[in-house]
Amino acid sequence: MVATLDEAAGKARFDEYWGRGVLAYWDYVRAVPASYDPAAKAVAALNYASEQAVTWPTAVQALCVNARERAVDAVRAACGRLGAAMAQRGASWSARLIGYTVASRNAADAGVKAQIEGERVAFNRTRTRCDDARHARFDGLESGDAGVRARDLSEADAWVRAQAQYGEVGACERLARGATRP
């Protein structure tokens, strides 16, 4: 078990491929041969895609956060390394937030736990800026103005494709840095 946790912690990116699932829904629904406004199809695609099940968090939390018994030191340390890796290299906001929780729960001491909590605060600030930047590019999809819908449809398409390529966090960080396209 420790070897498996360490293998996962050593990966360059912790990716549940959620962004690729969003792209699959996006391309499928937008290609449906119906006479709906393309922006309406985009909103439908995003709504369907947001319901994708992500099942791995339950297993990680059961093993590393909510275990019935306090883990032996080797497992606790491996869970801490996995949590730190997820917090730093998770492709989605969920993966990073769960990573901070796992790392905090398995911190070696109060000092390490305080450092993790400080990083989580900075993470939440970044996530908020990214969400604001993303929303600014999606809000017009339901506008009554066809020009605004077309503009935001192009922005949304760029976002969905960037999310599939870079992960949710990577695409959003690009937007928050002021990139006109992720």
pLDDT at 114 exceeding the cut of 90: yes
Give strand pairing partners of 14.
Answer: 90
Chain mean pLDDT for the chain:
87
Residue 71 has what pLDDT? 65
Q: Determine the pLDDT at residue 60.
A: 87
**What pTM was estimated for this model as a whole?**
0.82
DSSP-assigned letters across all residues of 22-76: HHHHHHHHHTS---S-HHHHHHHHHHHHTT----HHHHHHHHHTS-SSPPPHHHH
Is the Cβ–Cβ distance between 93 and 169 less than 8 Å?
Answer: yes
Q: Which amino acid is at 148?
A: V
Which range of 3-12, 100-109, 132-141, 151-160 scores highest in mean pLDDT? It is 100-109
| Mean pLDDT for the stretch of residues 46-57 | 83
pLDDT in tens, 84-108: 999 999 999 989 999 999 999 999 9
Q: Is 77 exposed, middle or buried (0-12, 13-18, 19+ CB in 10 A)?
A: middle
For 34: left if phi > 0, alpha if psi spans -120 to 50, otherwise beta; the answer is beta
In angstroms, the CA 96 to CA 176 distance is 17
